[in-house]
Every structure is written in C-alpha cells, then in structure tokens.
Chain A
Amino acid sequence: MSTADGARRIETAALARVEGEGAMHVRIRGDEVLAVELRIYEPPRFFEALLRGRALEEAPDITARICGICPIAYQTSACQAMEDALGITVTGPLRDLRRLIYCGEWIESHALHLYLLHAPDFLGYESGFAMAADHRGIVERGLRAKKAGNRLIEVIGGRAVHPVNVRVGGFYRAPERRQLEALRPELERCRDEALATVRWCAGLDFPDLERDYELVCLRSQRAGEYPIDDGRIVSSKGIDVAPAGFDATFEERQVPHSTALHARVRERGSYLTGPMARFDLNRERLPPIAADAATEAGIGEGCSNPFRSIVVRAVEILFAFDEALRLIDRYERPDRPFVAYRTRAGIGHGVSEAPRGMLYHRYEIDDAGEIVAAWIVPPTSQNQRSIEEDLAEFVAANVRLPDDELRRRCEQTIRNYDPCISCSTHFLRLEVERE
C-alpha cells in the first residue's frame, strides 16, 4: 500500500505459523528501506516478578509455562541455575537422561517447525494442512518424527507439554531401561527418515541472502559433544565465557515498537543464536551420519544464508535421533533419581540450547530456599535484532517485488528463526528510547 508521503508500507498485522503474537512493519521509499520493525505485542505475564518468594524447587515447573513448545529448555536452564547456586553437579546417567529428554524436545520442536510451519513457505502453501493435500508422505513423515520426539519426552517426563518429572538435581523417578529400549525401533526408523528429510530440504529453492552474523552458542566441555544441555558460551568473534559471564558479555535494550527486549553483545551489536550458530561452531562434533548428511546437502563448509536454516534443522533432527539412540544404548538406571543438596543462599546461572537458541536463567536464592530475584533471557529476544537486520537486507535486495510476494517472503524471513514470541516477551525490561 502507498502512504501520503509516497512511501510503501508492507504490513503483516498478525504473524502466522509462529508461536505467540507478533506483527511486522516495513517502510520503503523508492528503493530505500526506511524502517523495518518486528513488533511483539504479547501481553506481559511478569514471570520474573512472580517467581520472587517461590521455593527454588518450583522454578522448573513455573518457568516451563513461559513456553509450551520448549518447556524442557526452561526446566533445564532453571535446574542448572539452581544447582549452580546450591553447589551441586548432575553427572553420569542423570545427566544423560537430561540430555535424552532434551533430544526429544529438539525433535518435536524442530519437526513441528520444519514440516508444518516452515516448509509450506518454500512450497507456496498457507499451512501444513494445505501442503499435506499434495505432499502427504512428507507431512506424515514429519508427524512421525514429531510423535517420536514427544513419545521420548512422555516416557521420561510423563507428558509432552510441561512434563512433570524434571527437578532440581535430576528427576523424581528414573525410567526403567526397558521403557527406553522399547522406543528403539521407532527412533531407528525415524533416524533413517530424518536422513531422507535432510536430502529433501537440500532440494528446496532458497532465496538469496548472505549475512555476516556474530554466531553465539554453547560449546560443550566434553570432547566431541554437540551442545544441547550445557557448556561455555562461545561466539564466532571470540567470546568464550562461563554461563556466569553472560551479564558482562551481553546487554538488553528496549525499543519503542516492541514489548520484547533486544539483546546485543556489549559494545558490538547484534548476534545470532540457534541452529545455524550451533552448527557452524560445532559441526566437527556431529556424529558421522549427521556430518556426512550436511556435506551432501551442501552446507558441510558452513551456512550463512538464513533461509538454509531449514536444512540445518533437518541435520539437527538427524543428530538428535542418533544421539538419543546412543544415550539409550549406554543407559543404566541410577540408584537414586536425583542429587541431594542442602539449601543455602546463593546466586546461580544456567544456560542451555533451546531448539531455537540459547536460553539463560539467573536466580538469587536466600538461605530458606526462596527466590529473591530472577532474570531470564530467551532466544527470540536475542535474535530479534538479527531478524530485523535480515529483513532490512532482504527487502533492500528485493524491493521491486510486488507487495504480496514481498510480504510473504518477509514472513518467511522471520520464520527462518522459528521465533517463539510467547517466550520472547515475558521477561522484558522496558526502556523506551524517545528522541
């Protein structure tokens, strides 16, 4: 649409096929992009304030409710932050179980995004339902993968959304080995199909966009391990800090058009977290089946086109199935399902890799075990600035496209990030900058 001053405006009032509520606003004059805004208007829920006075043991279950799509990420980061404050470490089969249930979340979340939310963009459908009319086999394959991921979460956690078995120190009850063994045939089948999905994704048609991001993710301290549940925070421009260094490394800023904060590297700027960052900085740690598939798919040397993130997600689904099978192979049921602790006052930091990127929690607890202060930085707030920069570059390069096509491509650009807008807003500190 044209405005009185001759500028074109591309708007999407309510973004579809994302989790949560957001909108997009792009303003163009001639060939010049005047403004690009990803607007987030989810009503705030004040999680960080509501956590004050709650027992430290309640943080995993309460923060899980920030996001129904990645509750394990919230539970894991919360547990690790509390364990850090309490001075305990979860190791051995309990840590394996934590990683295993997290594999389930990567699978269900990535499969939902890849097949039902993102693939329709590449093939020109409005939804996964519409896509299924012509590509039923592909969508069914995706639903099988998603179900296998959910089943893994259910067997360990009790249910797929907001599982009940995760606690500070480990689990309430450790599953029997035979319960996990029973998952093997389906996980093996889905691993084979995940390989086919990498190949299928590699054949999609990708719009041109090459970006020079600062990539930020975790790097496991265990040799040869791809990051999921823990590690140091590293970047492609030299960051390498423990989780406790998050605050000194990153900052959050408020922008007027969004209730979500924009995170940035202090004194540097935007960064990218999520599958592309993990893959680029850790791809030598992928098992051969996933590394070979990535090479065959043409991203073996890395990937800087955000539209190809769908291929990276496919590679991570393949990895997560393979990793789940590896962890089940060596699982021995522990004698005790959790590490015991003595309540004490302290400050703790926890970071893990949610499917869509790094998720940081920090808590201060008192000597009675009550939460004094909480700070949560989810992935979408970290990526929000990069999303807008992608949009600005993409629109500048494609400014001649008709409005409808440009709008559709802009939405696809946002969906490259699998943004979880529900998450991205519940912890905002608003600081409106006015000129």
Chain B
Amino acid sequence: MPAATPTRSTLARPKLAVWKFASCDGCQLSLLDLEDELLTLPERIEVAYFLEASRAVVEGPYDLSLVEGSVTTRADVERIREVRRVSRHLVTIGACATAGGIQALRNFADVGELAAAVYPSPSYISTLETSTPIAASVPVDFELHGCPIDRHQLLEVISAFLARRRPAIPAYSVCVECKRRGNVCVMVARGTPCLGPVTHAGCGAICPGHDRGCYGCFGPMETPNPGSLSASMRDLGAETPDLIRAYRGFNAAAPAFRAAGDAHAAESEAEA
C-alpha cells in the first residue's frame, strides 16, 4: 500500500477508536453514513481502530473512543475496562451503550428461561443476567443517546472533541422539536399516545412527523414526569400492559423509564 504523505495536519491528528459491544452496528454505521464528511474526517482525526471499516489497527492509547453496545458477558466486562484504560476520552453512542438497549429486557426476566426458549442447550450460553450500559462498568466522559444515534449529533460530538469544548446536545424533550418542526401534536389532535413529553430530543421528532406517537428511542429527557404522561395516556385509552410496553422498549433500563415501567408492572400485579 502506498504510504500517505505526511502533512502538518496528519502529524498532529488525534487517534479515534470505535468499539463494539452487544449491539446491531447501527450506531457505528451512522459514522459511515456521514457521506459528505467521511473522506475529510481522516484529515482531522486518525481512524486508528474501526474494525467495521478497516483491517488496519493502530496501537493505542486512543484520544477519542466511541463505544457502541451494552455489556452482556463476563468477557466484555474485562474488555470495556481495557478500552477505558487505553482511551483518554470515552464517549458512549446509542441506547445499548447508554442504557443497555433492547436486550436489557432480559433484566426484567429470568435469563435462564430466555436462553432455554431460544437454545435447545442453554447451558452452553455464556451470558450475564443483565444487559448494562457502559457507564455501569467504567467512567464515561459523554453519553450520546438514540436508537440509533443521529449522525449529525455524532458529528457535533466529534467536532466538539476536536475543538475541546462541550458538545451542544440539548436534553429537553421531543415536544420542543415537534413545536420547532411545526408538527401538530398527535396526542392532542389525534388522540395517539406519545412518549414525546418524557423523551430526550435529538431525532427531530420524526415519529409525530409521520403521524405516529414517539416510542422513546432516545431515552428519558433530563427531568421527565412519566407519571403525569401515563395519566394522559390512560385518558386516551392506554391500558396498563400498553404502558408497561411503552416504557420497556429500547431504553427499558434507563433509570426514569425503568421506574415508570416497574410502577406499571406493580399495578398490573395488583390488578391481577
């Protein structure tokens, strides 16, 4: 392979690493989905470890690590510690890495029973009882939410890192994005249950924009009030099992959603 000509910028570039834990690859794909910026990115930052895109591996330590996926095996507990050790700045990307992801539904079930439902020989499956966010295992410098993350927000996180500033990622609710986009409220106008009032902004309010209620894929906003929202959703006809499922989705183990889901699950048991 021809050697790249060293320039001033290539000499001073920080090193980027992208790591994968239990996940669908969609968040790291968001990096490759930055089609307009992808080829200029290596001018500013050295892509040192990114297995989905390159078989070349540059040794650590790394200046910026992006971590996708949740921790679900004992081996991965060790691996994330090693990743933390070789990373100066560690950013988790997506619902799996920040909240445990859809696979954290196991946290509400008996993992042995789940394994037995999928595998004839469940004893060969090596897995933990829970799916946990990266921050449960190691300190994290910044969390970028979303299932999947928004690629423009990812670009903002990388740009902010290069400029040594805090990323400008607002923590208000999807409702603010709806107003900004000019969406008619699906709850008020159509009577459609919507998690928008308790959900972290970032997607651009695309579900209400397509005439459906938000399903909470960006996780809880900064100071959510799920109790109030659940009461409104009940007024629209949602029943307890619907509310349990609403909070127990892609961010089921995020604290605010977990508390709301658990509260409704307790109601369900009381009803029974």
Contact = CB atoms under 8 A, between A and B. Distances in A.
Contacts of B103: 45-46, 50
B118 A20 contact: no
Nearest to B215: A61
Interface string A259-297: 100000000000000000000000000000000000000
19 contacts: A15-B51, A16-B52, A16-B53, A46-B114, A46-B117, A50-B114, A55-B242, A55-B245, A67-B26, A127-B50, A129-B53, A130-B56, A160-B33, A161-B26, A171-B210, A172-B207, A172-B210, A422-B23, A432-B121
Interface stretch (B36-44, B132-140, B228-236): B36-44
A125 B54 CA distance: 9
B51 A16 contact: yes
B240 interface: no
A428 B53 contact: no
B82 interface: no
Contacts of A124: 1
A128 B1 CA distance: 12
B127 interface: yes
B125 A430 contact: yes
Contacts of A65: 24, 26, 101-102, 147, 250
A212 interface: no
Given A116-B53, A127-B54, A50 B102 contact: yes
B65 interface: no
Interface string B63-104: 000000000110010000000000000000000000001110
A161 B29 contact: yes
B125 A69 contact: no
B122 interface: yes
Contacts of B119: 44, 428-431
Interface string A33-53: 000000000111111111010
A128 B53 contact: yes
A62 interface: yes
Q: Which 5 A-B pairs have the closest CB atoms?
A: A68-B26, A127-B54, A16-B55, A126-B56, A158-B206
Contacts of B4: 133
B106 interface: yes
Contact of B52 (A19, A52, A158, A428): A19
Secondary structure at the A interface, as helix, strand, loop or mixed, is loop
A134 B4 CA distance: 10
Contacts of B113: 49
Interface residues of B, number: 67
Contacts of A146: 33, 35
B241 to A, nearest CB: 9
B39 A136 contact: yes
B53 A43 contact: no
Contacts of B187: none
A317 B53 CA distance: 20
A43 B206 contact: no
Secondary structure at the B interface, as helix, strand, loop or mixed, is loop
B182 interface: no
A144 interface: yes
Nearest to A145: B35
Contacts of A54: 245
Contacts of A254: 120-121
Given A50-B105, A429-B119, A69 B55 contact: no
B121 A431 contact: yes
Which of B2, B23, B47 has the largest number of chain A CB atoms within 10 A? B23
Which of A44, A337, A427 has the largest number of chain B CB atoms within 10 A? A44
Interface in A66-123: 66-69, 71, 112, 116-117
Nearest to B41: A129
A142 to B, nearest CB: 9
Given A16-B55, A65-B102, A172-B211, A150 B127 contact: no
Interface string A147-159: 1001000000011
A118 to B, nearest CB: 12
Nearest to B51: A16
B39 A132 contact: yes
Contacts of A117: 53
Given A49-B113, A67-B25, 10 more contacts: A15-B51, A21-B20, A43-B72, A43-B73, A46-B111, A52-B117, A136-B39, A140-B39, A161-B27, A171-B210
Contacts of B106: 46, 50
B32 interface: yes
A326 interface: no
Contacts of B17: none
A304 interface: no
B115 interface: yes
Nearest to A129: B42
Contacts of B179: none
B1 A139 contact: no
A159 B119 CA distance: 34
B261 interface: no
B51 A14 contact: yes
A89 B207 CA distance: 24
Given A54-B245, A173-B210, A18 B118 contact: no
Contact of A147 (B36, B54, B206): B36
A116 B26 contact: no
